[in-house]
Homo-oligomer: A and B are copies of this chain.
Amino acid sequence: MKARVTVMLKSGVLDPQGKAIGQALDRLGFQGVGEVRQGKVIELELDETDAARARARLSEMCEKLLANTVIENYAIELK
């Protein structure tokens, strides 16, 4: 099973990278771009067929390693 974990900074935590992208887009002439946030995406292959079990394992990976929950949220998608 393929999974995708998206890790984003919590709202309220300043995201200078997102801000810099927004400014660069503006300089390049792209108008009407509102807030920009940048995060990480991690794609993994899991040898798991059960979705619930896969989710549980992925949550554990996120809590332990993939995200720093002091500053980041994560979301899990299975494909």
Copies in the complex: 2
A46 near B64 with CB under 8 A, answer no
Say whether A28 faces chain B, with CB atoms less than 8 Å apart. yes
Least distance between A69 CB and chain B CB atoms (Å):
16
User: Quick one: which of A61-79 are within 8 Å of B by CB?
Assistant: 61, 64-66
The 8 Å CB contact of A28, one of B18, B32, B35, B65, is B65
Contact with B along A51-68 (1 / 0, CB 8 A): 000000100110011100
* A33 in complex: contacting residue of B35, B40, B44, CB < 8 Å: B44
Supplied contacts A18-B42, A36-B44, A38-B41, 8 more A-B pairs, CB within 8 Å: A18-B43, A21-B66, A28-B64, A28-B65, A30-B61, A35-B44, A35-B45, A40-B40
